[in-house]
């Protein structure tokens, strides 16, 4: 897969010209089709922040005759892309009490505007951000405050992965409310949804002539009913390799780049286990261009496979600083050149105070 550029128009969904061609092709073949198009338009302010959004709801095309298509205009040249991703983000003010006194801005103030300057930022949102529902029977349940989401958006976050073992802490209704709250704040939700189709669906962005797909999977499953199914809300199963491969292949067919966020591994592990290595390789073989792992609460090294970066675990990020090991973290950075070359690196960071990661490199 290839590259995307900085500072361009950010849209969740296919570009207008490509969408027109898709519809014309479907109509010309006389085949009905259903597609989902959610467009996220972002413009750069003088300060470099990424703002504003409009949503276009689901549309259905009918099988009707169509005129002969006119020649396609030349597409714009593709530029360079900078993408960042983090590990676990928790916006529960009862768990991170600094938010009660310092505000939710404290979560992002140690990053020097890093996420506002890049092209795309993906986080793992390790809580339900909803005021409804009741805690499910498990040791830890985290309820994020919806007031944290506008601040998160202003900090430059575009995608939140809900495929983890805390997004469903307050039940299915709160999970879906979390997804709705994210979307209302122009943050795409991946990895969980109202059924298995929505949970496996990518968030799509067009940036500087390139289409980017982001997928989420949850490989740490508290109970079987947390997995999404037909007519059943939940998360995309990160233990089901065939369904993950199918989702990556489907995203690869409509995007130039496919990024995967996945909750996997075993808490406190410092290196990946063999089954996660196999999953990562299978997804890259299917078309993934970078994989952002989390769950172990410890920073793991970056690796590459077939020239694609794998961040085995990005550790904690917006989290309490219980220990030096748990507070040692990093931001994943993926750069894509205009010629399609992909490179990755870890930007060192440290959680200096509860809920306050600070870049150190």
54-105 tens-digit pLDDT:
222 222 223 333 343 444 556 678 999 999 999 999 999 999 999 999 999 9
The predicted structure's pLDDT at residue 75 = 66
218-232 pLDDT, tens digit each: 989 999 999 999 999
Distance, first Cα to last Cα, the chain: 29
CA distance 278 to 260: 15
> What pLDDT shows up at residue 54?
28
Residue 189 in contact with residue 162, Cβ under 8 Å?
yes
Nearest to 283 by CA among 216, 199, 204: 216
Helix or strand run (H / E) with residue 175:
helix 171-184
Q: Which domains can be identified in the chain, with CATH numbers?
A: 11-61 (no CATH), 81-359 (3.60.21.10)
Q: What is the DSSP letter of 219?
A: -
Higher pLDDT, 22 or 344: 344
User: Torsion over CA of 7, 8, 9 and 15, rounded to 10 degrees?
Assistant: -150
Phi (first) and psi of residue 149, to 5 degrees: -75, -40
Instruction: Determine the pLDDT at residue 9.
Output: 32
Q: Nearest 5 degrees, angle CA 76-CA 78-CA 82? A: 140
Check the CA dihedral 18-203-288-9 and report its sign. Answer: positive
Q: What is the pLDDT of residue 2?
A: 35
pTM: 0.82
Please give the helix or strand (H or E) that residue 317 lies within, else none: strand 316-318
Nearest to 42 by CA among 187, 171, 148, 174: 187
Are 146 and 31 contacting, i.e. CB atoms less than 8 angstroms apart?
A: no
Tens digits of residue pLDDT in 115-148: 999 999 999 999 999 999 999 999 999 999 999 9
Element (H, E) at 222: none
Q: Give the per-residue pLDDT at 37.
A: 35
d(CA 181, CA 178): 5
Q: What is the DSSP letter of 337?
A: -
249 contact partners, CB below 8 Å, separation of at least 6: 286, 287
How many CB atoms lie under 10 A from the CB of residue 251?
26
Question: Which secondary structure element, helix H or strand E, spans residue 182, and what is its range?
Answer: helix 171-184
Q: Of 119, 120, 121, nearest to 107 (Cα)?
A: 121
277 C-beta neighbours (distance < 10 Å), count: 15
């Amino acid at each position: 897969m290839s590259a995307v550029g900085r500072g361009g128009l950010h849209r969740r969904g296919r570009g207008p010209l490509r969408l027109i061609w898709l519809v014309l092709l479907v109509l010309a073949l006389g085949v009905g089709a259903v597609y989902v198009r959610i467009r996220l338009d972002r413009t750069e302010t003088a300060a470099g922040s990424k703002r504003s959004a409009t949503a276009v709801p689901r549309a259905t095309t009918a099988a009707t005759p169509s005129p002969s298509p006119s020649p396609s205009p030349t597409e714009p040249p593709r530029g360079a892309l900078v993408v960042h991703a983090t590990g676990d983000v928790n916006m529960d003010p009862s768990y991170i009490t600094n938010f009660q006194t310092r505000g939710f801005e404290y979560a992002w103030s140690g990053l020097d505007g890093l996420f506002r300057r890049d092209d795309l930022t993906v986080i793992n949102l390790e809580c339900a951000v909803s005021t409804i529902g009741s805690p499910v029977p498990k040791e830890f349940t985290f309820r994020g405050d919806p007031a944290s989401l506008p601040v998160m958006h202003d900090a430059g976050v575009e995608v939140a992965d809900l495929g983890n073992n805390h997004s469903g802490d307050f039940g299915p209704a709160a999970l879906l409310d979390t997804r709705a709250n994210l979307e209302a704040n122009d943050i795409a939700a991946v990895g969980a949804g109202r059924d298995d189709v929505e949970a496996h669906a990518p968030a799509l962005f067009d940036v500087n002539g390139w289409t980017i797909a982001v997928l989420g999977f949850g490989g740490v499953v508290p109970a079987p009913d947390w997995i999404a199914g037909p007519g059943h809300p939940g998360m995309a199963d990160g233990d089901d390799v065939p369904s993950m491969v199918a989702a990556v292949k489907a995203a690869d067919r409509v995007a130039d780049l496919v990024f995967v966020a996945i909750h996997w591994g075993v808490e406190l592990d410092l290196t990946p286990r063999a089954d996660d290595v196999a999953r990562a390789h299978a997804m890259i073989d299917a078309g993934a261009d970078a994989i952002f792992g989390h769950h172990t609460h410890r920073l793991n090294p970056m690796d590459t496979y077939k020239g694609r970066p794998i961040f085995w675990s990005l550790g904690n990020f917006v989290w309490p600083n219980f220990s030096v090991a748990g507070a040692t973290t990093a931001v994943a950075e993926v750069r894509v050149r205009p010629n399609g070359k992909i490179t990755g690196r870890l930007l060192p960071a440290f959680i200096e105070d509860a809920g306050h990661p600070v870049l150190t490199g």
